[in-house]
Amino acid sequence: MNTHNNIVWHHATVTRSRREAQNGHRGAILWFTGLSGAGKSTLAHAVEESLHQAGCRTFVLDGDNVRHGLCSDLGFSSKERTENIRRIGEMAKLFMEAGVIVLTAFISPFRDDRAYVRGMVGHGDFIEIFCNSSLETCEQRDVKGMYMKARAGQISDFTGISSPYEVPENPELLVNTGKEELAVCTNLVLDLLLSRGVVTSYNANPDEPPCGLHSLTLAPLA
């Protein structure tokens, strides 16, 4: 029996627009993509810290963390990577509908997968941020020791070594995380959110890191 024929969407009385009005900002999906070690998670959490201290509703979906729960049954074959991103996209969409600024930090190596998530939401709701760092720089960082293992043949289907990474062709923002300081990269993302009307303001001194970041111990981009 086709169960899809028996499922009807239930429309809530508390709408996305009402949640956004209460939050004081739009919901949005910030999709950080790039090689392992490019700085996706570090940048996503730095942006979240600034937004959180400015009073925004935020949540970071991190690639490793999600694979401990929601996607713990998936490996790293092309098919499983696609399913991983599909699940993340659906979850990110729910956060966005709740009026939350959701920041996703995933390698998400395939253009078609990223395009699929973009197509799940309305125009302007999906903001692709390419964390651009060379393979050489990422290998030099190798915070988790994964590149060394991949080069030694201990890890298969590793992006950049034995599995491809398809560079975004038209991301909303390209951030040179391999060269720029974290505070500079963070401000670029915050400026983009401001220009796109996701937030109306954030407390940042042009001569200092964004709101709150000057008091934190910033880890290297990873």
Provide DSSP, 139-205: HHH-TTSHHHHHHTTSSSS-BTTTB-----SS-SEEE-TTTS-HHHHHHHHHHHHHHTTS-S---B-
The catalytically annotated residue of 36, 41, 50, 108 is 108
Confidence (pLDDT) at 208: 43
Instruction: Give the model's pLDDT for residue 215.
Output: 31
Token pair of 215, please?
């008091």
- Residue 217's pLDDT is 30
What pTM does this model have? 0.83
Q: How far is CA 112 from the centre of its chain?
A: 16
159: phi then psi, degrees, rounded to nearest 5: -60, 130
Q: What span, in angstroms and rounded, lies between the C-alpha atoms of 24 and 202?
A: 12
Question: What per-residue confidence (pLDDT) applies to 63?
Answer: 67
What tens digit of pLDDT does each residue of 173-188 get? Answer: 999 999 999 999 999 9
Please say if 72 is a catalytic residue: no
Positions of the chain with pLDDT under 50 = 1, 204-222
pLDDT digits (tens, 9 = 90+) for 137-173: 999 998 788 899 999 999 888 898 988 999 999 999 9
